[in-house]
A and B are shown apart, each in its own frame.
Chain A
Amino acid sequence: MTGIEDVFNPLRDPRDKRLPRVAGPCVLVLFGVTGDLARKKLLPAIYDLANRGLLPPGFALVGFARRDWEHQDFRQLAHDAVKEHARTPFREDVWNQLAEGIHFVPGTFDDDASFEELARAVKELDEKRGTGGNYAFYLSIPPKFFQDVVKQLQRSGLSKPSENSWRRVVIEKPFGHDLASARELNAILHEVFPEESIFRIDHYLGKETVQNILALRFANTLYEPIWNRSYVDHVQITMAEDIGIGGRAGYFDGIGAARDVIQNHLLQLLALTAMEEPVSFEAEAVRAEKAKILSAVRLPADLDTYTVRGQYTAGWQGGVKVPGFREEEGIPQSSRTDTYAAMRLDIDTRRWAGVPFYLRTGKRLARRATEVALLFQTAPHLPFAQTDTEELGQNALVIRVQPDEGVTLRFGSKVPGTSMEVRDVNMDFDYGESFTESSPEAYERLLLDVLIGDPPLFPRQEEVERSWQILDPVEEYWEKHGAPEPYPAGSWGPKAADEMMARDGRAWRRL
């Protein structure tokens, strides 16, 4: 990182909490502008940032794609995307300012001339809009093109920062499909960009609720004393989706739910839930704790018993008849790809020894829900008659990541009446309904962090590699043994997943 933080700015004052962090002058170069992500998330997020006054004056956005387009066509695409998906109200002035800085360079990734054109375009923007020679490259393209693009950026001189300017590259998951490919991908990027200028986006980490896990754990005294093996019985981390694979057949087949979700989102959630308190909230300190806890994660010895995979078959999901995975367009009849994955992980630390972490994810489940649930041990002694507490389960603390973000605490309460009867009740803190109305979307937060150069919310290579080390043996085992167990669309996954829990004397939470 250069410059910016070293300049003394008398107008900045830590007590002045009204002033937001604003990005410095820069150009964002977006590869893959026609993709879903660009239209639904990135372009609207850029507009929202502008609308909140968080983009610098003279910010420029350059789109690059294989389209025979003029600037005007890209502006139109961006305009439509913003109108449809932006979270903040549409303001003509904001849009006009933004649109003036939107440029388009047509070309293909193997064409030297188009990258030279791109280099000329950003140079021109530096002169015309004063973007200061700072460029962020957002690779919203399939990883197989990374090599070409990165090489082209190097060849055309775009990747090399001049004095007092920066270059950053942003990539989206998947970060490889196993340890070897993750390292390979990284080697490609590292040839041209140093690690500190690589921003890996795991959009889950930009979600308010995920950041709130840290606030909940480390800003309160209430939870820390019970956040360990003395009180916690086990932890369930779930990401359930009600949709199928949609248009992602090409990517999803052969990858599967475990690689798609567990490797990144669920292991990140596990890390945030299980890690020790970082010494500060500097990026390095948080990452160090995450890396530490991930290095203590242990796979079960018996992978057959404690890992489960499934594949959805045709069924009724939420009142709609939906096809099975193998009937989806672009999926071969013989596909052995998992659309559901569950596993037990243990963490070998003093805090968590003997507390299993159960992870599950699946497509076409009954409903969409992502949560982290800590289930507490039952009281060692109950001074009630056994019949009084039949309906009392385990106390639970649930962090709901999406939808209706919030925190639920489940505990026993007396049922009103003349007899002593104790039943589970929920106490709810609803984050989503009230607070998030105008809070930034994950991509907004992450894009701003990229432009400012603030890395705490981005996983670094070490975490990515460690996650693959955890998952790779499972995938290898699955490769060699058996096949995914079918489960009907709209259910809560294969029976084997319930059996896995039952063997430990536990059950999945019904979401």
Chain B
Amino acid sequence: MIIDLANTTTRKIQDALTASRHRMGGPATGKVLTLIVVTDEAAQYDAIRASAEVAREHPCRILGVITRGRDADPRFDAEVRVGETGPGETVLLRLYGQLADHADSVVLPLLVPDTPLVTWWPGTAPATPGEEALGALAQRRVTDSAGGADPLDTLKRLAAGYRPGDTDFAWARITPWRSLLAAALDQPHDDITAVRVEAEGDNSSAALLGGWLSVRLGVPAEVSPSPGPGITAVRMSTKTGDIAVTRPDGRVATLSRPDQPDRQVALHRRSTAELLAEELRRLDPDEVYHEAVERFAKGLEAAGKPAPAPQEQVKAAKPKAKKS
């Protein structure tokens, strides 16, 4: 069901949501969070579509906030979609004039009560997400440093403006890489002395991967350009040779270790919906991301302090409740 409300109020939107729920006989609750998507007219279709896909895993109310002509009189239009694309509800809000600066006043009455709130900027990331009106409200602020011009510079800005709860898609993009690298080091290995990440130029994911490896391993990391696509290799040097994961084609990765046969595994690049779903799975601050982005901002060349000493680490890392 799609309800168009031109020049409307939040009260009318609430009424429309309630009425459509009654008409469809659906339950009033069941939504686990509110997702605010801050976007523009050109990008809204893809962003809302990805959100709706994610709503299957995380039933939520999606509020798309779209800024329109700033010279117009302040008013807003709403498009309410219920039961069209999945279990959640979607409200597209088009804000005109000065109202763009007061988007929070429109959004506040429409949040699902007493549940977490996530704000996502699929396009150009704001300077300091945590200080944006729509960001300060949220537990979790998701940006995409690769969504605008100059990803590396954006990432530096995000590092400087970091508040607990910030994360970036560039980080979610490398979870499969990190998982594979961590699995590689689950096996006995020699001490790692240096790390090199090879990636297409200006790749903020590669920068974060370098930052993470540098923090965790306590060694200098280097990001060097390659023809791509995306990240093509990670090489961790040990005294007996490199432990390397290479992915020249963006699809299949090869894990090579000294004195062992090469092993291959599919390592595909992830879709927007997959990235967003991962972001919504945990809503607490991502401290590991913070460390990685901070290390990147300070420069990857310095070795820095190694990860916590093995004794305490092993104890803490020993999986206790493997329930997830």
Interface positions of A (Cβ within 8 A of B): 3-5, 7-22, 24-25, 50-51, 53, 55-59, 91, 93-94, 96-97, 100, 127-130, 132, 164, 211, 214-215, 280-282, 428-430, 433-435, 437-438, 449, 454, 456
Q: For residues 167 through 185 of chain B, which have their beta carbon under 8 Å from a beta carbon of chain A?
A: 172, 175-176, 178-185
Can you name 18 extra interface pairs (CB under 8 A) apart from A8-B314, A17-B284, A132-B187?
Answer: A3-B188, A5-B318, A7-B188, A12-B185, A17-B324, A21-B322, A22-B186, A53-B180, A53-B267, A57-B264, A97-B266, A214-B323, A281-B320, A281-B321, A281-B322, A281-B323, A430-B30, A437-B57
Task: Check B322 against A454 for contact (C-beta < 8 Å).
Answer: yes
Task: Check A438 against B277 for contact (C-beta < 8 Å).
Answer: yes
Expressed in whole angstroms, the Cα–Cα distance for A45 and B101 within the complex equals 50
Task: Pick 7 A–B contacts, CB within 8 A, sort by A.
Answer: A7-B189, A11-B185, A18-B175, A19-B179, A57-B265, A91-B266, A128-B261
Interface positions of B (Cβ within 8 A of A): 27, 30, 56-59, 87, 172, 175-176, 178-189, 213, 216-218, 251-255, 257, 260-268, 277-278, 282, 284, 286-288, 306-307, 310, 313-314, 316-324
Residues of B contacting A14 with CB < 8 Å? Answer: 316-317
Shortest CB distance A434–B (Å): 4
Instruction: Say yes or no: A57-B322 contact (C-beta < 8 A), given A11-B185, A22-B179, A435-B57.
Output: no
Residues of B contacting A9 with CB < 8 Å? Answer: 182, 185-186, 317
Task: Check B288 against A434 for contact (C-beta < 8 Å).
Answer: no
Expressed in whole angstroms, the Cα–Cα distance for A55 and B316 within the complex equals 24
Q: Could you tell me the dominant secondary structure of chain A's interface residues?
A: loop
Find the residue from A19, A57, A456 having the highest chain B CB count within 10 A. Answer: A57
Expressed in whole angstroms, the Cα–Cα distance for A1 and B12 within the complex equals 62
Task: Check A57 against B253 for contact (C-beta < 8 Å).
Answer: yes
Closest 10 CB pairs of A and B: A58-B263, A57-B263, A57-B265, A281-B321, A22-B183, A434-B59, A94-B266, A11-B182, A93-B266, A8-B310
Shortest CB distance B132–A (Å): 24
For A7, give the chain B residue with the smallest CB separation. Answer: B188
Residues of B contacting A59 with CB < 8 Å? Answer: 265
Task: Check B321 against A280 for contact (C-beta < 8 Å).
Answer: yes
Task: Check A58 against B261 for contact (C-beta < 8 Å).
Answer: yes
For B317, give the chain A residue with the smallest CB separation. Answer: A12
Task: Check A4 against B172 for contact (C-beta < 8 Å).
Answer: no
Expressed in whole angstroms, the Cα–Cα distance for A430 and B310 within the complex equals 43
Residues of A contacting B59 with CB < 8 Å? Answer: 434-435
Expressed in whole angstroms, the Cα–Cα distance for A97 and B188 within the complex equals 24
- Pick from B56, B216, B267: contact of A437, CB below 8 A: B56
Task: Check B186 against A7 for contact (C-beta < 8 Å).
Answer: yes
Expressed in whole angstroms, the Cα–Cα distance for A456 and B321 within the complex equals 9
Residues of A contacting B176 with CB < 8 Å? Answer: 53
Expressed in whole angstroms, the Cα–Cα distance for A498 and B277 within the complex equals 47
Task: Check A10 against B57 for contact (C-beta < 8 Å).
Answer: no
Residues of B contacting A96 with CB < 8 Å? Answer: 252, 266
Expressed in whole angstroms, the Cα–Cα distance for A19 and B58 within the complex equals 19
Residues of A contacting B257 with CB < 8 Å? Answer: 130
